[in-house]
Structure formats: C-alpha cells, structure tokens
Amino acid sequence: MSIFSGKKQIKKKRALLTKEAETFIQVHYVRDRQSQNYLYNALKLKDDPDRDACNEWYIINGNPETYPAIILRYLDDKRTSIETLTSKTGMDSNYIDNLKNDTNYVPAKGEAVAACLACKLNFEEARVLLEKSGYQLTNSSKEDLIVRYFLLNKLYSTSDLNYVLETICNVKLKDL
C-alpha cells in the first residue's frame, strides 16, 4: 500500500464523517430554546444503561466533584497514563501540572472534551464530566452537536474531530 492510498482513505473517511455530522446537526439542531422541540430534546430516557453505569461509577469512586479528581480517576479506571492523555490531546505540561496540583482547576471546554476523547468516555460519562466542569453539550450549538455525534458514535480521534469542526463550523477543538 502506498502512502497516497492511505491519505485518500483518510480523506474519504473524513468526508464521510463530515457528511454524517451535518446530517446529525440537521436532525438535532434547535434554533430557539423556547420552542416545543427544545423541550422535547431536553427530555431524558427513562431507562438508560450508560447513565445508570455512570451513576454507579460515581458512587463506587466516592462521588468526585472536581474536574481533576474525576479525570484522574477515569485515567486510572481506563488504565490510561497521563502521558497518553497529553499525546492524544496535544496538551502541554501546564495542563498536567494544573491537573495534579490544583484541585479546583477548571479546564477550557475544548480541553475537557479532548480529555473525554483521550479517556474514551461514552456520551453519558463525558456529559457528566463536562457538567461538573461547568459546561454542557447543547442542541443549539453546531459545535456541541458535532462533539456529541463523535461521543455517541465512539469516535475518539481528535484530529478527525478537528477536521469536522473546521469544515462545518470553521473552529478547532481548542477554541470551543
């Protein structure tokens, strides 16, 4: 296999991801938060195994409340090293220092999303982590819907996410 065929496959894959993300946005995007559609989109399913497993994980792990405590527990639980986290997310040593030494550290939204991807969190785990960090993934933001699409489909590549975000919204993950 030549290097060019690999690049073509990546390009095809990213084009498909972009098309699927655009479709996801069309289905889920809510322009007006006051509309009846928004109220429907805010409902939670009665039985959600991922939500139940996430709630159980928090109970078992002593209900960590801060971003550093939660992400360090996830790293341990998923057997992911801090070095892997930094290499997958492209974060620098300041981020790691803050994570280890500042119990009240609140990351930027893009950093928190990148950490969710690096830890391969499912949508519910990522939603709770982002919520505890002061962020939400809303149906009224195309960027949030793209992140949600990636999490729901267990697509954990930050480079693919950046490509789709740039193509559709002209923004990168670090700028969220």
Predicted structure pTM score: 0.79
**Taking a C-beta distance cutoff of 8 angstroms, is the pair 48, 124 a contact?**
yes
Residues sharing a CB contact under 8 Å with residue 72, sequence separation 6 or more, in sequence order = 99, 100
**Residue 9: its pLDDT value, please?**
86
**Residue 34: its pLDDT value, please?**
52
Distance, in Å, from the CA atom of 65 to the CA atom of 148, rounded to the nearest integer, reads 22
Please give the backbone phi and psi of residue 89, each rounded to the nearest 5 degrees, phi first.
-100, -20
**Residue pLDDT tens, the chain, 176 long:** 444 457 888 888 888 888 888 888 888 777 655 554 444 444 455 667 877 888 888 888 888 888 888 888 888 888 877 777 777 777 777 777 777 788 888 888 998 999 899 889 999 899 888 988 889 888 888 899 999 999 999 999 888 999 999 998 999 988 88
| Structural domains of the chain, with CATH | 1-30+139-176 (no CATH), 49-136 (1.10.260)
Radius of gyration (Cα) for the chain, nearest Å?
17
